[in-house]
Amino acid sequence: MTNWPDDDVILYDGVCVFCSRWIQFVIARDAARRFRFTPIQSPYGVRLAQAFGIDPHEPDTNAVVHGGKAHLKSDAALTVLSNLSGWGWTRALFSVPKPLRDAVYSVVARNRYRIFGKYESCFIPDAELRKRVLEE
């Protein structure tokens, strides 16, 4: 995995309804305000995606930089969940074989627009949340 200078940054598809709801889910449970966010459509998001081999025009995964390393697909989701207060139990899901976890993740990722919809533009956070969004 490639190192990245910023830590605890979640890269997400900003026009994806499901992905934006995932970010809202994390925000509501991130009492420590540990995580910051960047839509893949932003200049910062594009650089981050390219650094980790994600096509910013056809993203098939979200990612999280944690501990200086990028975690993709199911590892990204479980890394974020397991670091939220009250969600530490999700660490046990790392024991499920990664190919199985990623297969389920990939089915949802491939069908996310069809199932959940797509925004015309990126999700716009409120003023308080904007402090935690990296875009440039």
Q: Is the predicted pLDDT of residue 1 greater than 70, yes or no?
A: no
3-state helix, strand, coil in the chain (%, to 5): 45, 15, 40
Higher pLDDT, 58 or 26: 26
- Per-residue pLDDT at 123: 60
Burial of 32 (0-12, 13-18, 19+ CB in 10 A): exposed
Residues with Cβ within 8 Å of 120's Cβ and at least 6 positions away in sequence, in order, are 15
67-101 pLDDT tens trace: 888 899 999 999 999 999 999 999 999 999 999 99
Q: H-helix or E-strand containing 36?
A: strand 36-39
pTM, to two decimals:
0.85
